[in-house]
Every structure is written in C-alpha cells, then in structure tokens.
Structure 1
Amino acid sequence: MHQQHLAGPPCADPAAAVRRLGCVQSQEYAVAKWSLAQRCAPGVVDADVQRMVDDGVVLRTHILRPTWHFVLGEELGWIQAVTGPRVHVFNGYYNRMHGLDPSTAAATNKLITDALRGGNHLTRNELGAALAAGGFPATGNKLAYVVMFAELEGLIANGVMRGKQHTYALVSERVPAPVVRSPEEGLAELTRRYFTSHGPATIKDFVWWSSLTVAEIKRGIAACGSALTSATLDGRTLWFAADAPPPASPPPAALLQGYDEYVVAYSDTKFAYNLSGAATPGRYPENTMLHPIALDGQVNGFWRRKPRTKTVTLEIDLLVEPTARQRQALTTEIERYEAFAGVPVAISFV
C-alpha cells in the first residue's frame, strides 16, 4: 500500500498517480477516477480527474490486458508498443471469429482513423456507422473488438466525454509530444515501473499484470540492473525497488474500487490482502461490482455504490467488527469520498 501511495506520502496529482503505477485499471469508470484521487492529498475531486482525462493528460484505453486502463497520454505509445502485441495474441480467437486478419484490420483501422481525423470525437456506435458506410458493418462484440484492435495499435484512445457518453479520438491529435522509447528501453522501464510501484511482487504477478511472457520479463529485470532487488519468502522470489523506503503503516480504512491496483494487479500473491481470511470465497457471486474495504491493509468488507438523481448511496458490508480506530477512519474515508463525488452520500449497512 505504501508503494502504491495508499499509505505514506500522497501523489502530487492524479497524473502523478498514473505515472507511478504505469497503468491503472479503469473498467468501472466512476470509481476508477476515485482510485486516482485517493492516492493524492484530500481535495482532489471528480471534476479534477475528469478534466485531465478530457484534456488527454490521462487517457483511458485498452492496454496491458484486454480491459480498460488509465495511462498517461504521453506514455501510451511506448507502453502499447511493449504490451499490445501480446494482447493481440490473447484476442486472437475473437479476432479470427470476427474476420480481423491483418488485411481486414488495416482496412478497419483506416476507416476509424479517417472518421476521427480533424478533431472528431465519436462514440463507439458512431464509429460503427463509419465502418458500415465503408463496407464493414460491425455491432456488439464484433464492433468492440474492431475498435479495440485500433486501440492496441496505439491509434485511438478516449476522447472528450459527451454528456455521459464516452468518445474516441486519435492519439496523434491528443498527444502532441509522446515519449519515445526503443522496444528494449520500453520493456526495461515498464518492468522497473511495475516492481517499483507494485512490489514486492513475483514474476508471475507481472505476467498477469502486463500480459508479457516470462522470458520477456526476465530480460526486463536484467536490463534494470541494480534498480531492482529481490528476496525469497516461502519459496517465492519477490522483486522490488532497491531504494524502496521503509513502508508506512497501512491506512486503518480504505474504500477501494473493485479493480484497484492493490487487489487486481497480482495473481501469485493475491493472498497478501486476505491474510486475515475474512474475505472468504463464495460470499458473493462473481462480477457483482462490489468494492473492497481494506482495514489495516486487509480486505475485511465490501461496499456497493448506488447513484441516485442527486445523491449516492453506499451499501457497506463489514465482514469483521472494526475497532473504534478503524470505524472512525472509515467514517473519514466516506466523508472524503463524498467530497470527491460532490454529492451527498447516504450510508446503508447490510
């Protein structure tokens, strides 16, 4: 939690949080914005994060794994170049099912980029209309994969929000000065970034997070030289920054988004946030959009966000009886979320 800035010194702003973590999963958009603000000093509100996304400082796109992530606009190109080819491999079945061979993908990419050129910011359905007009009709899952292919090529990412609708825009028009790295430099930097911001973590953890192969990751670790170090615990080799400062104590309470990097960025060491054993499997069905509540770093509860017209209700389900200190910290965390959301928050305990 210290390395991810959920404890200890806060990040300067949401862009600094994204830079620190490399990429931040943002599948559920409203609370993904909260996860960035949460890593900054109190006072960052939803509109501040949204402004950075609309301005292209932070972009939202399919990157790392075939799901949504925040990434710095200036860094999207080199990260996509490192990981995009691997995600194409994972998407291979659906790409073949939808007829997205290299020749067809080149044609759909051109139709999409032509439609967006000149500062056009279009919704996915509007891109679908442009594809249909060009002789390639696509809707539903097929349209999603056609558009994702262009994202993974680093051609498009999010545009400006249009009311409550997400749009797409050309990366070349959103990012005036992209950071350029060679493939090997990019691999080394992404490796350093992950183990610095998410460590201690194993190679298996990084395989899950990045979609890279073990061989690629070992090459990246070697390229980092003395910047990374390792330790062995219970048969696992854990990698982390050689100059990592002594960790701060975890926060007494943290409202985490369901896809927060603290819980989603690991496969081999996921157990670390449930050493208490309170978050038992099977309590909730999969994909119920519940978000973890971490008490002193351990997942000891869940919350659900229910937006209303002018309010938000948070349903709180605590799996343990919190201490007085934890309960007060949870109240403070809820008040901070209310300030971030900018609407009154009602609490319901279940």
Structure 2
Amino acid sequence: MTASPQQAWLRAERLRSQHLDGRSATPLEVVRALGAVQAQNGSAARWAIGVRSPGSVQADIERLFESGDLVRSWTMRGTLHIVAADDLDWMLALTSSRQRAAVAREARLRGMAEDELQRASELIAEDVERNGPRTRAEALSTLERAGIAIGDERGYRFIRDAALRGRVAWGPMRGKQPQLVLVRPAGQHDRDELLARYLVRYVAGHAPATVRDFAWWSGLTLTDARRARDAAGSAIETVGEEEWLIEPGRTPGDAAASAPSPVLAAAPLNSFPRLGKASKLALRSPQSAVQAIPGWDEYVLGYGDRSPVLDPEFAPRVSATGNGVFLPTIVSAGRIVGTWRQGTKGSHLVAEARPFTRLTAAEKRGFDTSAARLARFLGLDGVSAG
C-alpha cells in the first residue's frame, strides 16, 4: 500500500528520531535519545537498545549497568524502564507521586500502611548502602529479619515503593539476578522546568508526536502534558492540523535536506498543512529500513495513537488487548508489517517472520539481515533456518 505524503513524512521522521534509521550510536546515546526504554522484559529491552546501536553487543549494555550509567526502575505508568542513571531522579520527581497513588489501594488491601512502607524503603536502602548491590532475595531477607512480612506479594511491592521513593533502582546482574543499587540523590527542581525537559526529551526521541501521545507515554495528566508544551516554548515546533510536535528545523522541507536514510524528497514548507494536495514527499525504503524490533518496543508503545505506523486491522496481532503483552514486530520503511518470534538451535538463533500479508523479496532479505544482527548481539554463531 502506497503511503500518503503525511504518512511518508511521519514514518521517516520517527525512524530517525527513534534511531531506527541505521545511524551510528552508542547504547548510552540511544537510551538518552529515547528518554526511557520500556523494560519489564529485560532481554527485549536490551535488544531495543541494540537494534538502534549498530555494532553493539549485549555485553556493552551490561557494562553500562555495571558502571552505573544505566539503571532500571518504575519511571512511568507503573512499568519498568531503562534510563540513564542521572535522569532518574528528575523523572521520578514528576511521575512517582501519581504512580504511588495508583497502587495505594492494593497496598492497603495487603495491610501495607504508609509508616511500614517508609520503614521498609529505609531498610532496603540502608542494606544496599552497607553491603553493596543486593538481589531481590537479599533485600527481602533484610525485611524479614526486621520483622516485616513479605508474603502475599508484599515483598515485591516494598521494593517497588522504595524505587518510587527514589531510594534504589535495579542495576547490574549477578548471574541471572538483577541487583538493587542506590539512586543518586535528587536535587531541587522547578516543576515547569522539569515538564519542559521531559517533553523536549520525548520529542527528540519520538517525534512527530502529539501532546496526547506524550501524556500516554509519560503517565502524566493531559493537563500537565499541555503545561509542558507551554513551558517548552520555542524548544519545540508544532506543525499540521494534527499539531505534531517536532524538533526545531524538522519541518518537511528542512527534514528533506538533512535526513539520513531512509530519506524524504523535497517539498515546499507550506505544503505540510495541506498534505495530499501540493506535497511531493516520498519515502524511499532501502533494505536497511527493515528491522526486527523486540516486544514492548518504543516504536509501538511510545505513542497513545499507534495507527500512523500500525494498521488498526492488524493491531490485535501485535497485542490482543492493546495494553499487556506486545509481540516483537517487523518494521519496513516505518510501517509495522508483521510479528516475529525467536528461539535458539544449538549456538544459532532461530528467527521466524510472521507477516500480516506477504513480505517482498527485499523485506525478507532485510528481516534476515536484522536477525543476523541480533545473533551477533547475543553472541551466537549465526542464524539457523529452524
């Protein structure tokens, strides 16, 4: 299906902002660019970084956790994300109170009073400060020794609450177990300044997007999202009837002159508000534009409205409910054209494409290339036919 001029522009720009256009970037640069990488599934989150950082391997990401540059915490929407460690405190300053309020009822149902939550968070942080990084089992053992009951899923909630208070976060692995580390103390922040920073970072890693997309992604209220737009001022531009938020200088004509592959053909600046009439935007789709991205990827979950890149007809094949499990997807020229699954056969990766309709020969080659990159990323010998 031929993309409309607006779809072509939007998809090309999202590939660029999301670092899915083949540009060279380090894993840390990728995380900073996206702002946060959804990470309830640790393996998927690591490939979400790796697919955007050509040449990187999983060990590169693990070293960033070991050095303290990356952490994993409940930064927004009650969901774990990987973020740069020095971004965590200000993000939580905006999002933690709303997240804690959302889980307050379930805490009360389990008899978890505020004073007990406060005491548990202090005990966990003191244990990490005294003994170094601690696994979940070690942190819960500390609570038990202090007489705090951890059954009925209370233990998990104590750890989450300590993280939402900005005391600890998940850091490097010990074997197959993540470890809790101390969080760098939060400074004093002006709320409007933080809202502006949050939106500017989101737009840099997700544009074009709307204020409503930002509200969904950040977990903030729509009122706060609009306040963020006002606070951001000229740091963000708005274009089109849909009021797409973009970085300054990324209007269609400007983007055409500077965009890396996939690229846009030139179009007059005043054509965008009347897309479909004068605009001559076109998206070229080289083989490198085909990517096998993981489940829960920011390219899908980074927006409240996914229809610009995912046909609503096929959305249930990516996520049956639209808010739960999200399968790995195949992206071709910015459009999601199918799902895929992976396994291993000996020392080889097995990657099976499950297109919504039919992949072209070029798309099949692109998928195979992306699968080979994943095999290298994981340290496997290659890709097996299964």
Is the shorter-chain TM-score for this pair beyond 0.5, marking a shared fold? Answer: yes
Summarize the Cα distance change of 1:293–1:103 in structure 2 as closer, same or farther, 3 Å threshold: same
- The equivalent residue for 2:136 is 124
- The equivalent residue for 1:279 is 314
Letter of the structure 1 residue corresponding to residue 45 of structure 2: A
- The equivalent residue for 1:204 is 212
Deviation by residue 1:260-295 (Cα, 9 ceiling, x = unmatched): 11001111x2111124x6625258756566311112
Deviation by residue 1:100-142 (Cα, 9 ceiling, x = unmatched): 3332221111111122113422221221111111111113532
SS at match of 1:2: helix
SS at match of 1:108: helix
- The equivalent residue for 2:38 is 25
- The equivalent residue for 2:191 is 183
Letter of the structure 2 residue corresponding to residue 298 of structure 1: R
1:238 deviates by 2.2
Q: Distance in 1 between matches of 2:118 and 2:349?
A: 44
Letter of the structure 2 residue corresponding to residue 231 of structure 1: V
Q: Distance in 1 between matches of 2:317 and 2:243?
A: 30
Summarize the Cα distance change of 1:303–1:140 in structure 2 as closer, same or farther, 3 Å threshold: farther
1:342 deviates by 0.6
Query: Is the 1:314–1:345 Cα contact (8 Å) retained in structure 2?
Result: no
Unaligned runs of 5+ in 2: 1-14, 263-284
1:347 deviates by 4.5
Summarize the Cα distance change of 1:274–1:157 in structure 2 as closer, same or farther, 3 Å threshold: same
Q: Distance in 1 between matches of 2:329 and 2:88?
A: 28
Summarize the Cα distance change of 1:8–1:348 in structure 2 as closer, same or farther, 3 Å threshold: closer
Task: Say yes or no: does 1:334 pair with 2:371.
Answer: yes
- The equivalent residue for 2:5 is none
SS at match of 1:281: helix
- The equivalent residue for 1:79 is 91
Q: Distance in 2 between matches of 1:227 and 1:283?
A: 34
Task: Say yes or no: does 1:96 pair with 2:132.
Answer: no
Q: Distance in 1 between matches of 2:355 and 2:385?
A: 11
Q: Distance in 1 between matches of 2:151 and 2:344?
A: 29
Unaligned runs of 5+ in 1: none
- The equivalent residue for 2:265 is none
Q: Distance in 2 between matches of 1:279 and 1:201?
A: 21
Deviation by residue 1:134-172 (Cα, 9 ceiling, x = unmatched): 111113532221111111111101132111111112124
- Which one is further off, 60-69 or 119-128? 119-128
The 5 Å alignment of 1:196-275 reads 196-233=204-241, 236-244=242-250, 246=255, 247=259, 248-249=261-262, 251-267=288-304, 269-275=305-311
Q: Distance in 2 between matches of 1:179 and 1:348?
A: 53
Summarize the Cα distance change of 1:289–1:338 in structure 2 as closer, same or farther, 3 Å threshold: same
Q: Distance in 1 between matches of 2:71 and 2:84?
A: 6
Task: Say yes or no: does 1:149 pair with 2:157.
Answer: no
Task: Say yes or no: does 1:165 pair with 2:177.
Answer: yes
- The equivalent residue for 1:113 is 125
SS at match of 2:229: helix
SS at match of 2:20: coil
Query: Is the 1:301–1:317 Cα contact (8 Å) retained in structure 2?
Result: yes
1:50 deviates by 0.9
SS at match of 2:198: helix
Q: How many residues align?
A: 339
Task: Say yes or no: does 1:34 pair with 2:34.
Answer: no
Q: Distance in 1 between matches of 2:355 and 2:56?
A: 27
Summarize the Cα distance change of 1:238–1:100 in structure 2 as closer, same or farther, 3 Å threshold: farther
Summarize the Cα distance change of 1:60–1:78 in structure 2 as closer, same or farther, 3 Å threshold: same
Summarize the Cα distance change of 1:283–1:255 in structure 2 as closer, same or farther, 3 Å threshold: closer
Larger Rg: 2
Summarize the Cα distance change of 1:179–1:192 in structure 2 as closer, same or farther, 3 Å threshold: farther
Letter of the structure 2 residue corresponding to residue 297 of structure 1: G
Q: Distance in 1 between matches of 2:104 and 2:164?
A: 13
- The equivalent residue for 2:3 is none
Q: Distance in 2 between matches of 1:131 and 1:308?
A: 42
Q: Distance in 2 between matches of 1:22 and 1:289?
A: 20
Query: Is the 1:108–1:146 Cα contact (8 Å) retained in structure 2?
Result: yes
Q: Distance in 2 between matches of 1:292 and 1:51?
A: 27
- The equivalent residue for 1:7 is 21
Query: Is the 1:94–1:145 Cα contact (8 Å) retained in structure 2?
Result: no
Query: Is the 1:278–1:319 Cα contact (8 Å) retained in structure 2?
Result: no
Summarize the Cα distance change of 1:306–1:80 in structure 2 as closer, same or farther, 3 Å threshold: same
Task: Say yes or no: does 1:193 pair with 2:201.
Answer: yes
SS at match of 1:212: coil
Q: Distance in 2 between matches of 1:283 and 1:26?
A: 17
Normalising by the residue count of structure 2, what TM-score does the alignment of the two structures yield? 0.81
SS at match of 2:308: helix
SS at match of 1:167: strand
Q: Distance in 1 between matches of 2:75 and 2:94?
A: 10
Tell me the C-alpha RMSD between the 2 structures: 2.4
Summarize the Cα distance change of 1:253–1:152 in structure 2 as closer, same or farther, 3 Å threshold: same
Normalising by the residue count of structure 1, what TM-score does the alignment of the two structures yield? 0.89
SS at match of 2:153: helix
